[in-house]
Structure 1
């Protein structure tokens, strides 16, 4: 019985260290903020402005998100939205062409990845929607700011979003989700992904060097727009806690006040797709490790019983 008691003490201390110390360390490294389960209604933005004592900004955000709520209740016309969506294709071509410091994202799966109210807000005022209005005295100077003047009112916004949600909502893979939501700014060297897309294979070194120069030029443009080059996300899934990643993606300002990183407006399902790709990149052995875990525990359980029975048999008659 003494050995079982020792085993119990060791197991208890091991669990205490794993479940107590590691989460505690993360809680000290990354502040805890309340998430909103990827619901975009302006609550977080208004609370942030009020907490900073910026009442005028808070009132502007209240009005903005109230307008978004009103538009979300309009019945959108998909056919009319398709015609108006042509306006978006002038920039959102899917080609790596830098405009205003960033490459406009592809919208192939926008209806599946992004929240409806966020899309409405993004068309109505991109800077306000992405919560980076603190960077602009006039939000129309945002790289996408001109869209506010190109849309013909609330009904047309509702029509465009109805079209996006109906016709741009095909099933999206984790890789596609990452590329469309994050890949314009964040490289992933382990997946050979740059701000210009997946790195091609080159036959000649000079072609590889020429491509590298293009990537460096693009990184300079992104750096100028963002203030610094956004980090490589190859192992971010292992470097940050799940709570940090979820709340940061939902609202970057919650974890890094003043950051230039925009809110991207992912739905919960869209975030899970992106997270799956981050896990594939930064922790590719996780599925195998998780599958092996129960067998290892089973081995130790059986080994403990056999060791105890062996000890009992060997010491039988010696007490």
Structure 2
């Protein structure tokens, strides 16, 4: 009994993080069959995330083959460390000590982040940064308050700020938070940025379980096998019991 209590206690934080607490989460609507989206997501990850966050349980070669990225293109554009081998794990130069010094805590590996947090949480989180001068990097996040991470995608989104509306409550004007809005100084429009984040989250979901589509496809074959076996077993049973009745 004690063993199961320990396991449950270990799982509860992960379940809470995946659920996103009481924060409303937008649907990511990922499509793991969209290779173009996954390729764009890989490009975004390597350009904006990989400097701090590794995916050390993935290999460059596996990513290239799964996402239909030619080897020379992968080596020239997506393998940042030119001393890294094509078949190596996707590790970066950021040590835990350096991460703790720069950000207050080590930058986590992101190989399994989509499975731990959930794709909707990631999609909402990356679209929920806003200006906060009180924070070390000048930004905060509505999904992850007081996060120690800078808004690395700001050049794409622009500078996001909180938007308030004045409403009357009991005859008194009250400023109510209604959302976030970019200043419009980014490289992408609001819809383009949402699509870019979706591509990035799509890639992170793939990284968490590269064989997900194969597993699901295999599952249908297994179900089909059991259905056929059930039919054969039913008629075999009728044949054996024919003389009994």
TM-score (norm 2): 0.49
Greater length-normalized contact order (CA 8 Å, ≥ 6 residues apart): 2
Larger strand proportion of the pair? 2
Larger helix proportion of the pair? 1
Which has the larger Rg? 1
